[in-house]
Amino acid sequence: MGELERVSGLPLASFRDEHVNEQVARACRRFEVADAAGLARVLRSDEDARRRFRRSVAISHAAMFRDPHQFALLEHDLLPGLLAGGARVSAWSAGCSDGSELYSLGVLLERLGALDRALLLGSDLLEENLAIAQVGAFDGVSAAVRARVRFEQRDLAADGPPPGRWRLVLCRNVAIYMTPAARKRLYGTLVAAMARRGVLLLGRSERLIDPAAFGLRAIAPHAYERVAA
Ligand SMILES: C[S@@+](CC[C@H](N)C(=O)[O-])C[C@H]1O[C@@H](n2cnc3c(N)ncnc32)[C@H](O)[C@@H]1O
């Protein structure tokens, strides 16, 4: 897999073996090659095949207000708490895909009259996702929200967190494809980036078994507050 990792530019070792093996087997069938070495040869010479393989491993499904009950929780509970007393909120969407998660958050902040107090950053592994995110062609997103967001490339399996202390971190549906070891490292990276009393929101199928081990406490389904600085 070493050559495939190099050619694809993906941190393959951080993804669960079954997931990678399934995507490799599918790509081998599609490109009619026998094994990972053959696939690496195809990906080296065919940019479209490479892009397709990258997207298949780093599952990029996303949508505006995906899992609406989580955005209801943000709007009615988590954000009012973070914004209390006129406080500013810095929010990082880690594994933002096409940016729809961050734009949805921007829409909520605008609705709460707090957009001008917000710093909104999205990061993702794939440049091709970020290119879509930069355009931000989503219904219901104002120019003001578009002007507030910024995006950057970041490999959560290898890079540290973005500089700063983030008061809200969204990392939904990213860890599910990772190995337990990579997932643990990821949560460590996220927590290191959080401000004290900052909030981490995971996806609807993700939860921490022992939040205290990360210096967190559960405050709502899939939501955790940083208790230790
Ligand atoms: C299923 S999407 C989730 C998008 C969004 N968070 C949501 O829930 O709608 C998973 C995203 O995680 C990104 N991703 C996977 N591994 C990553 C890594 N090591 N570093 C950064 N992003 C990663 C993928 O590129 C993909 O865009």
CATH number of domain containing 197:
3.40.50.150
Position in ligand 1 atom list of the atom nearest CA 10: 19
Residue 182, domain member (yes or no):
yes
Does one domain contain both 121 and 49?
no
Q: Please, what is the angle between helix 127-135 and helix 47-57, to 10°?
A: 80
Q: How many domains does the chain have?
A: 2
Does one domain contain both 203 and 143?
yes
Cβ(125)–Cβ(58) under 8 Å? Answer: yes
d(CA 78, CA 87): 13
**What pLDDT digit, counting tens, does each position of 41-68 carry?**
999 999 999 999 999 999 999 999 999 9
Residue 139, domain member (yes or no):
yes
d(CA 37, CA 72): 47
d(CA 13, CA 10): 9
Residue that the structure tokens 């995507």 belong to? 23
Q: How far is ligand 1, taken at its centre, from the CA of residue 85, in Å? A: 33
Residue 216, domain member (yes or no):
yes
Cβ(57)–Cβ(126) under 8 Å? Answer: no
Does one domain contain both 27 and 121?
no
In this structure, the strands spanning 216-220 and 194-202 are unpaired
Does one domain contain both 21 and 80?
no
Is residue 28 packed enough to be buried (19+ CB in 10 Å), middle (13-18) or exposed (0-12)? middle
Does one domain contain both 74 and 52?
no
The whole-number pLDDT of residue 229 equals 65
Does one domain contain both 72 and 49?
no
Position in ligand 1 atom list of the atom nearest CA 62: 9
| Nearest protein CA to atom 27 of ligand 1, as residue | 97
Cβ(123)–Cβ(153) under 8 Å? Answer: yes
d(CA 19, CA 108): 34
Q: How far is CA 168 from the centre of its chain?
A: 13
Q: How far is ligand 1, taken at its centre, from the CA of residue 59, in Å? A: 7
Q: In what order do the strands lie in the sheet with 166-171?
A: 149-153, 118-124, 89-94, 166-171, 194-202, 223-226, 216-220
Does one domain contain both 96 and 166?
yes
Does one domain contain both 8 and 46?
yes
Looking at 10, 29, 57, the residue that finishes a domain is: 57
Does one domain contain both 108 and 207?
yes
Residue that the structure tokens 């010479």 belong to? 45
Residue 110: both structure tokens together:
């605008």
| Stretches in the chain below the pLDDT threshold 50 | none
Residue 179, domain member (yes or no):
yes
| Nearest protein CA to atom 9 of ligand 1, as residue | 62
> Which residues form the domain of 19?
2-57
Looking at 57, 77, 94, the residue that finishes a domain is: 57
The whole-number pLDDT of residue 1 equals 73
The whole-number pLDDT of residue 219 equals 98
Binding-site residues, ligand 1, Cβ < 6 A: 11, 14, 58-62, 66, 95-97, 101, 124-126, 129, 154-157, 172-174, 203
| Nearest protein CA to atom 11 of ligand 1, as residue | 95
Q: Ligand 1 test: best mutation among 53, 124, 202, 222, most atoms within 8 Å of CB?
A: 124
Does one domain contain both 120 and 52?
no
